Structure 1
Amino acid sequence: MQQWQICRTKLTNEAISDTDYLISIDETGTPTLKNLNESSPKQLRWFTISCCIFNKDCINDNAEKIMNLKNNFWQDGNYHGHRIYLHSRDIRRKQGPFNLDNTLYSKFINELGNCISDIDFTVCSASIDKWAHVKQYSHPAPVYDLALKFMLERIVMFLSHKSSTGILLLECRGWKEDNELLSQIVAYLKNGTGYFSSEKLKCIKGIYFEKKRTKDQNKSYWPFELSDIAAHNLNEYAATNEKTKIFSLIEPKIIGYPNKIDGRGIKKFP
C-alpha cells in the first residue's frame, strides 16, 4: 500500500506531476441528523459536499490570478502578517480583512467575481436534505457518507469521460478525524460505491491533506478557497433553487452545463 492509503499525507509536487487533475473538496452544513424538524432553517437542514477540479497544467496560471486579486486590495496579499484567505463566511460578513468601506468592498466583490469567471476549473456537488432523508427512510444512511459517495461518483464520471486521472485534496481538521475520513474514502476505492466498481475508481490516484495556510502563514492553498466559496453557493442553490451572483458565475463550470446540471453536476438527495 502507498503512504496516502495508510494515514494522512501531505501533498507533494510528485503527486501532482503524476496525475491530470487536482481536486479540492469542501463541505458546508453539518452532517448530524439530530434535532431536525420541518421548520429547521436551511443551514441546519441541508448538507453539501462540493469539489473544484483543476487541470494540473493550469495550476500556476490560476494561482497567479488569485494572487493578483489579493495584491490589488492588500499589500503583498497579506493581512496582519499572514496571507489573505478567501473565506466565504468572512467575505459575506465583512469580517477581518474584508471589513472594507462600502465602495472598496463592492469593488472587491466585483473583482472576485471576475477572477472566479476567469479561472479554469470544473465544479460538482452532492447535497442532502436531511429532514427529507429522515422522513423517507426508517434507517437513514449517515449523511456525510452518503454525500461523499455521490461526490466520488461525479468525480469518477468526469475523469472517465476525459480518460484522465486525479488526486483529491482535503483540508486538515485533526489527525484522528482526517485518518477516519481517509479510511472511508480508501474503502470506497477498494470496494466500489455500488454504482461504480473499484476498477472504475482507479482513476483516483491519491488522497492528500493540507491546512488552509502553510506553517509560516506566507502561503494559502487557493484550491480550498475556491471550493469553500463554491460549497456555500451550491448549498444555497440546493436549498432554495435560487441563484446567487457567485452561483451564476460558477454555473457555466458545473458538470452538465448548459444542457443539464441538476442530477449530473449537482446531486440533490432524496
Structure 2
Amino acid sequence: MSFSDYIVYADESGDHSLTSINPQNPVFVLAFCIFEKTAYRKQVVPAVQKLKFDFWGHDCVILHSHEIRKAHGDFNILLNAETRIAFVECINQLMAPLPFTVISAVIDKQRHVQRYCDPANPYEIALSFCMERLQRWLRERNQVDRTTHVIVERRGAAEDTKLELEFRRIADGRNPVGRMPNLDIRFMDKKHNSTGLQIADLTAHPIGRHVINPTQQNRAFELIEPKLRRGPNGRCNGYGLKIFP
C-alpha cells in the first residue's frame, strides 16, 4: 500500500481517570490534527521554526501549552508582561493561517460516570470517535487505499502498548465504518521535537476549555474553530467536534 497525501498528529488534554475527576477540568480531549504533507513541510514547519528562532534564538524549545500557561522552563521569558503579550500575539498569528484540519472528541467525565454503571475508558471512546471521523474524511478525499499514519507522543511502554492494541482493535472493525487497514499508528518521543505534535498540543486544551465554558472568551479556540471538520450543512458539531455523552 502506498502512502496517503496526509499525516495526522494527535494529542490530548486532561486525564482519562474516572475515579478522581477535577471539577475545574472534568473533560478529556483528544485532538487529531490532519496536515497535507507538502503544506506541512513547506509552510507549517518553517513557520514554527521561525517563531522559535525569534523568541529563543534556537529551535530546541518544545511548545507545550501547560508550560506556556505557567511560564515554566524555557517559557519563563513570559514572566515579562511585554514578552508574554508579544508571544501570544505571535502564536495567534502563527496558528490562524496554518493549513490543517481538526477532528476532536471531548468526553465529559462527570456526565459519563453519572450516565453509565460501567463507564468505558474516556481515551478509548475518544480514539474511536476520532478514528471513525478521520476515516470518513479520508474517504471523501479518495485516500483510503493508501496508508495514513497517526503520530502520537510516546508516554511509556505499558501505556503505549495498551493504546496501540486499542487502535488496532478499532481499525480491525470495532467501529461504525468498518475495517480501516489504511490507518497506522506510530509513537514519537517528545525529545524529537515534532512540529505536528506541538501544534496538536496547542489545539487540544482550547477545545476543552470551550466545551467546559462556551461563553468564556477563548481566542485560541476562535482560531481553531474554522479548522474543525465540517459536515454537509457546514456544522462542526458531530463532525470535527464530538462531545460525549
TM-score by length of 1: 0.83
Supply the distance in 1 between the matched residues of 2:68 and 2:15 (Cα, whole angstroms): 20
State the 1:104 CA deviation. 1.6
- 5+ residue gaps in structure 1? 1-14, 78-82, 215-219
Establish whether residue 23 from structure 1 lines up as the match of residue 8 from structure 2: yes
Instruction: Find the counterpart in structure 2 of residue 121 from structure 1.
Output: 100
Instruction: Find the counterpart in structure 2 of residue 188 from structure 1.
Output: 170
Letter of the 1:94 counterpart: A
For residues 6-63 of structure 1, give each alpha carbon's deviation from its aligned partner in whole angstroms, at most 9, with x where no partner exists.
Answer: xxxxxxxxx9x82221101111111111145xxx5232x2111111101111121211
1:176 alignment partner, one of 158, 168, 172: 158
Supply the distance in 1 between the matched residues of 2:187 and 2:214 (Cα, whole angstroms): 32
Establish whether residue 212 from structure 1 lines up as the match of residue 190 from structure 2: yes
Supply the distance in 2 between the matched residues of 1:186 and 1:265 (Cα, whole angstroms): 22
Establish whether residue 259 from structure 1 lines up as the match of residue 234 from structure 2: yes
User: CA 1:63–1:35 in 2, change beyond 3 Å: closer, same or farther?
Assistant: closer
> What is the 5 A alignment of 1:66-215?
66-77=48-59, 83-100=60-77, 101-164=80-143, 165=146, 166-193=148-175, 195-198=176-179, 201-204=180-183, 206-214=184-192
State the 1:237 CA deviation. 1.2
Q: Which SS does the other structure have where 2:224 is aligned?
A: helix
User: Kindly, what percent of the aligned residue pairs are identical?
Assistant: 29
TM-score by length of 2: 0.91
Q: Which SS does the other structure have where 2:96 is aligned?
A: helix
Please give the root-mean-square deviation of Cα atoms over the aligned residues, in Å.
Answer: 1.8
State the 1:116 CA deviation. 0.7
- 5+ residue gaps in structure 2? none
Structure 1 consecutive aligned stretches of length 4 or more whose deviation exceeds 4 Å: none
Supply the distance in 2 between the matched residues of 1:180 and 1:35 (Cα, whole angstroms): 21
Q: Which SS does the other structure have where 2:86 is aligned?
A: helix
Supply the distance in 1 between the matched residues of 2:66 and 2:142 (Cα, whole angstroms): 36
Q: Are 1:58 and 1:120, in contact at CA under 8 Å, matched by a contact in 2?
A: yes
Letter of the 2:208 counterpart: N
Letter of the 1:224 counterpart: L
Supply the distance in 2 between the matched residues of 1:108 and 1:223 (Cα, whole angstroms): 19
Q: Are 1:98 and 1:105, in contact at CA under 8 Å, matched by a contact in 2?
A: no
1:228 alignment partner, one of 181, 195, 201: 201
State the 1:102 CA deviation. 1.1
